[in-house]
Structure 1
Amino acid sequence: MSYVSPASLPTIACAAGGTGGHLFPAEALARELKRRGHPVVIYTERRGAAYTQALAGLDHVVLPARSLEGGLSGKLAAGLTILRATAAARADMRRRDVRLLVGFGGYPSFAPALAAKSRALPLLLHEQGARLSMANRKLLRFADGVATSFPDTAGLDGFDAARIVDTGNPVRQAILDARGDYPLLDAAALLRLLVVGGSQSARVFGEVVPPALLQLPESIRQRLQVSLQYKGDATDQIERTLRAAGIDATVRPFFEDMGARLRDAHLVITRAGATTAADLLTVGRPAVLVPIPAGGSRDEQRRNAETLAAAGIGWCVPEPELTPEHLSTLLADAFASPTVLPDAARASAALGRPQAASTLADLVQSTLARHT
């Protein structure tokens, strides 16, 4: 029996890779479209399905996925996986009467995009980074439009400029709820430092940040309140060592209340993923950005970090330069100045796009209207 939507508005599909950087913007758009009355489905893979809180209340389909990396045998296996996922996505789109697909990048978004085009559906791509990701580059020739998160997104040469819309990067409701004034920063105030490594954490932060903090002057250590995300065996030992040095430290593998901690932070040390950048800009917080030290398709973090640092929101520190001595000096100078961090916070907030989900939903609806 065919699937009949109980709603009068067309069904929209989103496709996102399995990291939070891809899935969270898809979630934000899906919830905005659902609020407007559209039935919505998200296509992802098993890692994406693990974000149960993000997907709560949203229809989603877990498709098989495999990276194209590897030798000939790996590419052949990936090709077969993509074929299976494309067939499954195509059947689900037919059952739900999907009318448009929004792809958010990551190799698991490739098969749903191919399925959509095989059904002659319009395809929108959303790029979270300052440079087009590998998956979106591969799909660009099939796209009816591209939504970007930065005004100058690299990798779009030759694509019709009239079909590129700078929407910003949609963020979760918890991040929107964290917006507000920059926390008071004076000689008597606490200095709140948030250290997070993105959805995959960052072991280097647990290795470099604690000794850097121990090298700070005592006058700064006594005012520090540190939230450090660290996934490792030494979590308790790191916390005890920092507390013994007079630092109010909380070290956890994961923070459920990330929005509240970001709201309260004076400074953030973090990776430079696109969703992390969108969260920072939405709330308006300065940051020390440490891009993942990888080339090729993952080099977008370096570009994100350099773009944001050039805009004045903080510092880009390549991981090879992230030594305890360098970081300690940077932090001491920033915390000692009455203007450096507030000025960076204002620059960050000026680039924020809190209406990104709504703007992207408008683009989805206008694209639908043109293809109806």
Structure 2
Amino acid sequence: MSPPVARFSLPAVACAAGGTGGHLFPAEALARELQRRGHPVVIYTERRGAAYTQALAGLDHVVLPARSLEGGLRGKLAAGLTILRAAWQARTDMRRRGVGVLVGFGGYPSFAPALAARSLGKPLLLHEQGARLSLANQKLLRLADGVATSFPATAGLDGFDPARVVDTGNPVRAAILDARGDYPALGGDAPLRLLVVGGSQSARVFGEVVPPALLQLPDALRRRLQVSLQMKGGAAGEVETALRTAGIEATVRPFFDDMGARLRDAHLVVTRAGATTAADLLTVGRPAVMVPIPQGGSRDEQRRNAEALAAAGVGWCVPEPELTAERLAALLVDAFASPTVLPAAARAALALGRPDAASALADRVQAALGIGDGTAA
């Protein structure tokens, strides 16, 4: 039997997010801002999302069954039944909590809660993290009352009333907001800090290319480097030992739970180009070598993100097939040799950041609930 739900003076808000950090972290950021304003909040996700225990700490969350609609007829039928079962569970939970609005953050696990909210006659807001509407948000668009975007120009909204679209930016976690500060000094013999992260989908290519690239660097540069390398697999210890033997102060881990602090201290980041990663970089103001996941076709979101940021001076877009140890080593040598290149890229990143995104999206949620202009606590 479900425990009783405490009653609050303000309506409850539900967030629905897929199981990756790219979907879940913006939902967390919004949830905590709404909690601060006095709203009870629940996050609906699936088992992968529930594994982000630090992100969900102190937040009510419900794990729903989820299955992608990809596959043949049998797979689609099984997915349809899973969605219906999850929608029924979400609907029951929403009624119990008195949910007044649902905010969907994309990913196929957001489908069922969106259907549940609409079946209860509750407003549905969609938040899009990328420069193009995700597949889940695209399919839910006709049910949506409004869309919040992370980029001023977001593809895939053709036919949707522009008056119901607002550019809020992409909410980031408190740890990222707390990491904002001056770009670290580069002069003299001060350490040069390189952060290499692959995101929730990881990046095996970083583990294959980055260590040999670092070993090709000149000795003087290696001895100034402090490297934080996210690398999954059993070879992490061997890689760390090899780098330290070459004079590089290296920390190699499968996951960093202090990402805000490492991002704050970094002079340069080597990373994927997901929308949430981009938002973190811009909020803190750090230059990056962006290696988009090779998706291909019209939905090549990460490539578009990386190219747009590179064009804005935030860093470099290096397609994965072109990421070789030789190219990365040459890029690092040039970047760290210049006293102006990295600080200029950091300033370009910071100028594009939206640290107020969670607040702006919370305003939109409260407006959907009919709470003044959305700024009341």
Q: Same fold (TM over 0.5)?
A: yes
- Which residue number in structure 2 is paired with residue 23 of structure 1? 24
Which whole-Å CA distance do the structure 2 matches of 1:124 and 1:310 have between them?
31
Which whole-Å CA distance do the structure 1 matches of 2:264 and 2:123 have between them?
38
Which whole-Å CA distance do the structure 2 matches of 1:56 and 1:227 have between them?
25
Asked if 2 retains the 8 angstrom alpha-carbon contact of 1:2 and 1:95, the reply is no
Asked if 2 retains the 8 angstrom alpha-carbon contact of 1:242 and 1:248, the reply is yes
- Which residue number in structure 2 is paired with residue 191 of structure 1? 192
Moved more, 2-11 or 358-367: 2-11
Distance 1:166 1:102, change over 3 A: same
Q: After TM superposition, list the pairs within 5 Å mapping 1:149-228 onto structure 2.
A: 149-228=150-229
Distance 1:2 1:118, change over 3 A: farther
AA paired with 1:245? A
Which whole-Å CA distance do the structure 2 matches of 1:12 and 1:242 have between them?
48
Specify the SS of the correspondent of 1:369: coil
- Which residue number in structure 1 is paired with residue 316 of structure 2? 315
AA paired with 2:99? V
AA paired with 1:133? S
Shift of 1:284: 0.4
CA deviations over 1:20-72 (Å, ceiling 9, x no partner):
11011101101110111111111111111111111111111111000111111
Moved more, 290-299 or 245-254: 290-299
Which whole-Å CA distance do the structure 2 matches of 1:90 and 1:118 have between them?
8
- Which residue number in structure 2 is paired with residue 304 of structure 1? 305
With normalisation by structure 1, the TM-score equals 0.97
- Which residue number in structure 2 is paired with residue 138 of structure 1? 139
AA paired with 1:152? A
With normalisation by structure 2, the TM-score equals 0.96
Which whole-Å CA distance do the structure 2 matches of 1:34 and 1:23 have between them?
16
Q: How large is the RMSD of aligned CA atoms in angstroms?
A: 1.6
AA paired with 1:81? T
CA deviations over 1:320-359 (Å, ceiling 9, x no partner):
0000111111111111111110000000001111111111
Specify the SS of the correspondent of 2:370: helix
Which whole-Å CA distance do the structure 2 matches of 1:32 and 1:247 have between them?
40
- Which residue number in structure 2 is paired with residue 264 of structure 1? 265
Shift of 1:370: 8.0
AA paired with 1:160? D
- Which residue number in structure 1 is paired with residue 13 of structure 2? 12
Structure 1 alignment gaps of length 5 or more:
none
Which whole-Å CA distance do the structure 2 matches of 1:40 and 1:257 have between them?
25
Specify the SS of the correspondent of 1:102: strand
- Which residue number in structure 2 is paired with residue 338 of structure 1? 339
Shift of 1:152: 1.1
- Which residue number in structure 1 is paired with residue 375 of structure 2? none
Which whole-Å CA distance do the structure 2 matches of 1:42 and 1:252 have between them?
29
Asked if 2 retains the 8 angstrom alpha-carbon contact of 1:292 and 1:298, the reply is no
Specify the SS of the correspondent of 1:73: helix
Which whole-Å CA distance do the structure 2 matches of 1:135 and 1:171 have between them?
21
Shift of 1:296: 5.3
AA paired with 2:165? I
- Which residue number in structure 2 is paired with residue 274 of structure 1? 275
Asked if 2 retains the 8 angstrom alpha-carbon contact of 1:134 and 1:297, the reply is no
Shift of 1:3: 6.3
Shift of 1:2: 11
Which whole-Å CA distance do the structure 1 matches of 2:79 and 2:138 have between them?
18
Distance 1:191 1:90, change over 3 A: same
Which whole-Å CA distance do the structure 1 matches of 2:34 and 2:371 have between them?
18
Specify the SS of the correspondent of 1:312: coil
- Which residue number in structure 2 is paired with residue 361 of structure 1? 362
User: Aligned pair 1:233/2:234, yes or no?
Assistant: yes
Which whole-Å CA distance do the structure 2 matches of 1:57 and 1:224 have between them?
37
